[in-house]
Amino acid sequence: MKIGVFDSGVGGLTVLHALLDAIPQADYLYLGDTARLPYGSKSATTIARYAVSSVHFLLEQGAEYLVIACNTASALAMNDICAAVSTEVLGVIEPGARAASALSHSKNVCVIGTAATVGSHAYQRALAKLGVNAYEKACPLFVPLVEEGWTEHPVTEQVARIYLEELAREQCSNGNGKADVLVLGCTHYPLLKPLLHRVLPPDMQLVDSAQATAHDVAQHLGLAANTRRREPNIRFFATDSVDKFRLLGSRFLRREIAKVELITLPE
Amino acid sequence: MKIGVFDSGVGGLTVLHALLDAIPQADYLYLGDTARLPYGSKSATTIARYAVSSVHFLLEQGAEYLVIACNTASALAMNDICAAVSTEVLGVIEPGARAASALSHSKNVCVIGTAATVGSHAYQRALAKLGVNAYEKACPLFVPLVEEGWTEHPVTEQVARIYLEELAREQCSNGNGKADVLVLGCTHYPLLKPLLHRVLPPDMQLVDSAQATAHDVAQHLGLAANTRRREPNIRFFATDSVDKFRLLGSRFLRREIAKVELITLPE
Looking at the structure, tell me whether residues B203 and B99 fall in a common domain: yes
Distance CA B42, CA B46 (A): 7
Q: Is A148 on the interface with B (CB under 8 A)?
A: yes
Looking at the structure, tell me whether residues A166 and A154 fall in a common domain: yes
What pLDDT sits at residue B225?
A: 64
Looking at the structure, tell me whether residues B161 and B127 fall in a common domain: yes
Alpha carbon of A194: minimum distance to chain B alpha carbons (Å): 20
In a domain, B76, yes or no: yes
Q: Is B140 on the interface with A (CB under 8 A)?
A: yes
Q: Which residues pair with B67 in a beta bridge?
A: B5, B90
Do the Cβ atoms of B144 and A148 come within 8 Å? no
Looking at the structure, tell me whether residues B98 and B202 fall in a common domain: yes
Looking at the structure, tell me whether residues B85 and B13 fall in a common domain: yes
In a domain, B19, yes or no: yes
What pLDDT sits at residue A226?
A: 60
What pLDDT sits at residue A225?
A: 64
Do the Cβ atoms of B240 and A145 come within 8 Å? no
Residue B115, pLDDT above cutoff 90: no
Looking at the structure, tell me whether residues B15 and B79 fall in a common domain: yes
pLDDT in tens, B225-253: 666 667 889 999 999 889 989 999 999 99
Q: What is the extent of the structural domain holding B230?
A: 2-91+213-262
Looking at the structure, tell me whether residues B86 and B218 fall in a common domain: yes
What pLDDT sits at residue A173?
A: 80
What pLDDT sits at residue A186?
A: 95
Do the Cβ atoms of B241 and A41 come within 8 Å? yes
Q: Is A244 on the interface with B (CB under 8 A)?
A: yes
Q: What is the DSSP string of A57-112?
A: HHHHTT-SEEEE--HHHHHHHHHHHHHH-SSEEEESHHHHHHHHHHH-SSSEEEEE
Q: Is A240 on the interface with B (CB under 8 A)?
A: yes
Mean pLDDT for the stretch of residues B175-201: 94
Pairs of CB atoms within 8 A across A/B: 55
Nearest CB among B37, B145, B240 relative to A141 is that of B145
Distance CA A148, CA B114 (A): 12
Looking at the structure, tell me whether residues B72 and B178 fall in a common domain: no
In a domain, B267, yes or no: no
Q: How far is CA A128 from CA A133, A167, A204, A205, in A?
A: 6, 18, 20, 19
Nearest CB among B42, B144, B147 relative to A35 is that of B42
In a domain, A81, yes or no: yes
What pLDDT sits at residue B229?
A: 63
Inter-residue contact B225 to B218 (CB < 8 Å): yes
Q: For position B178, which CATH number holds?
A: 3.40.50.1860
Looking at the structure, tell me whether residues B127 and B67 fall in a common domain: no
User: To the nearest whole percent, how much of chain A has pLDDT over 70?
Assistant: 97
Do the Cβ atoms of A148 and B141 come within 8 Å? yes
Number of domains in chain A: 2
In a domain, A267, yes or no: no
In a domain, B129, yes or no: yes
In a domain, B36, yes or no: yes
Mean pLDDT for the stretch of residues B21-43: 90
| Cβ neighbourhood burial of A131 (10 Å; 0-12, 13-18, 19+) | exposed
What pLDDT sits at residue B241?
A: 83
Mean pLDDT for the stretch of residues B243-266: 94
Cα B138 from chain centre? 14
Residues of B with Cβ-Cβ distance to A40 under 8 angstroms: none
ipTM of the complex, rounded to two decimals: 0.86
Looking at the structure, tell me whether residues A153 and A110 fall in a common domain: yes
Q: Is B157 on the interface with A (CB under 8 A)?
A: no
A70 annotated active-site: yes
Looking at the structure, tell me whether residues A88 and A105 fall in a common domain: no
Lowest mean pLDDT segment, chosen from A78-82, A172-176, A253-257, B190-194? A172-176
Residue A32 banded pLDDT, cuts 50, 70, 90: very high
Q: Is B232 on the interface with A (CB under 8 A)?
A: no
Residues of B with Cβ-Cβ distance to A143 under 8 angstroms: 144
Q: What is the pTM of this model?
A: 0.90
In a domain, A140, yes or no: yes
Which of B171, B189, B208 is at the close of a domain?
A: B208
DSSP H stretches of helix in chain A: 13-22, 44-60, 71-84, 93-103, 115-120, 122-129, 142-147, 154-172, 193-199, 209-221, 242-253
Distance CA B111, CA B103 (A): 14
